[in-house]
Structure 1
Amino acid sequence: MAEVKVSLDAELVVEVMVLAGVGNPQDAVELVVRDYIARGHRTEARAAERDDARREAGDRPQEPQG
């Protein structure tokens, strides 16, 4: 896998290390990035499920309640 080097503010990296509970700065940042990507995939899956449910329901608008 190709690698990319990125410069980050030291305080930001220390905060990530503390929150991730990791002693290595590179590992801590990698964990955060992987978590961000995983959350994005979960969000996409939930949105697709909602779209599928609407299609199956026939896209009928709800009647006003009141």
Structure 2
Amino acid sequence: GSPLVNRPATREDVPATTSRSDALSRALNQRGFKFVGSTICYAFMQAAGLVNDHTIDCFKAPSI
């Protein structure tokens, strides 16, 4: 699939967690992972390119 593209107006508008990161965290915890919270899952999703949270005014936003 393609990444989920968000276009927050400012850095403050970028969420720390989402319902998808909550679900991923719960699924991993149910499978025995420890210390894997929703914030860590969302950061992983950003780093892996699953979500794109570049702000509207980011110079990289149009090319990503």
TM-score by length of 2: 0.26
Q: Say which structure, 1 or 2, has more relative contact order (CA 8 Å, 6+ apart).
A: 2
- The structure having more radius of gyration, on CA atoms, is 1
TM-score by length of 1: 0.26
